Amino acid sequence: MNIHEHQAKAVLAEFGVAVPRGYAAFTVDEAVEAAKKLGTPVFVVKSQIHAGGRGKGRFEGLGPDAKGGVRVVKTVDEVKANAEEMLGRVLVTHQTGEKGKQVNRLYIEEGAAIARELYLSLLVDRETSRVSVVASTEGGMDIEEVAHATPEKIITFSIDPATGVFPHHARHLASALNLKGALAKEAAVLLGQLYEAFMAKDMAMLEINPLIVTEDEHLRVLDAKVSFDSNALYRHPEIVELRDTSEED
């Protein structure tokens, strides 16, 4: 079972993870309201569908030169125009199949100044019952592509749930992502927060792609995809509630 990006970010924020500010919008008016509330110099209008590859996706019925499912704009008027174009339209990405998915909600988020895009995911290794951490400096691309083209750029290690996160895990992560000094410390804090969220919510997979280094040298979770084991759901009515509001779109 999956939840939307904005819901995943809200769950992570509960655990102290730094995510950009943003508001979900189901209508053009709500998108405009969201942009006004944000009041930032750059807005990102993000299609909320249960599939990745939105940025490089294509909307049906728009020309090949039209922008994809994630749009960076600078004014409230542009948020409005893009929301009008995107809401109700079918977005086709390499993960949706040819039929695509209709965009019924948007996430209006503050724009981040990106210096580097990294990849980080946590998943349950069923064979060992450990949590595998997968990290790469090659963020913003499909991890499958990276695995195919440059497998040496993917670093994995695992965490034993019996003992949890140790400082050597954090050091391993920082070195895998080529983060030093204050950024390495942020990576250590982030790993602890993500691991705590992962365990507390019985996640099966948590993928952050990209995790970014901002121009002012901080880590930010820019995209988050969470899936849950259906067995875990009865312990988490709050997640079942999210599912009930997100299953249809």
Positions marked catalytic: 119, 207
Measured from the CB of residue 198, what is the shortest distance to ligand ADP in angstroms? 19
Binding map of ligand ADP across residues 190-209, x = CB under 6 A, - = no contact: -------------------x
The footprint of Mg ion (CB under 5 A) covers 209, 223
Q: How many residues contact ligand ADP, by CB under 6 A?
A: 19
Q: Is residue 227 close enough to count as binding ligand ADP by CB under 6 A?
A: no
Q: Segment contacting ligand ADP (CB under 6 A): 106-114, 123-131, 164-172, 234-242?
A: 106-114
Stretch that binds ligand ADP, among 112-120, 167-175, 177-185, 233-241 (CB under 6 A): 112-120
Residue choice 4, 6, 9, 54 for contact with ligand ADP (CB under 6 A) = 54
Using the minimum distance from each CB to Mg ion, give the nearer residue, 186 or 223: 223
Q: Is 109 in the site for ligand ADP (CB under 6 A)?
A: yes
> From edge to edge, which strands make up the β-sheet containing 58-59?
58-59, 90-92, 101-102
Residue 51 CB, shortest distance to Mg ion, in Å, is: 11
Residue number, 90 or 232, with CB nearest to ligand ADP: 90
Secondary structure of residue 20 in the 3-state scheme: coil
Cα diameter, the chain: 53
Q: Is 111 in the site for ligand ADP (CB under 6 A)?
A: yes
Strand pairing class (70-73; 101-102): unpaired
Q: Are 44 and 119 in contact (CB under 8 A)?
A: no
Which helix (H) or strand (E) segment is 27 a member of?
none
Distance of CA 150 to the CA centre of its chain: 22
Distance, C-alpha 65 to centroid of its chain: 25
- CA–CA distances in Å: residue 82 to residues 111, 159, 185: 15, 42, 38
Q: Is 58 in the site for ligand ADP (CB under 6 A)?
A: no
**Which option in Mg ion, ligand ADP, none does residue 72 bind, with CB closer than 5 to 8 A by kind?**
ligand ADP
Please identify, using beta-carbon distances, which residue of 82 and 170 lies nearer to ligand ADP. 82
Residue 215 φ then ψ, to 5°: -60, -30
State which residue, 44 or 83, has the beta carbon closest to ligand ADP.
44
- What sign has the CA pseudo-torsion 124, 132, 165, 214? negative
Cis peptide bond upstream of 210, omega within 30: yes
Question: Shortest Cβ distance from residue 52 to ligand ADP (Å)?
Answer: 4
Task: Tell me the residue type at 247.
Answer: E
d(CA 60, CA 89) in angstroms, rounded, equals 7
Binding residues vs ligand ADP (CB under 6 A): 20, 44, 46, 52-55, 70, 72, 109, 111-112, 114, 117, 140, 209-210, 222-223
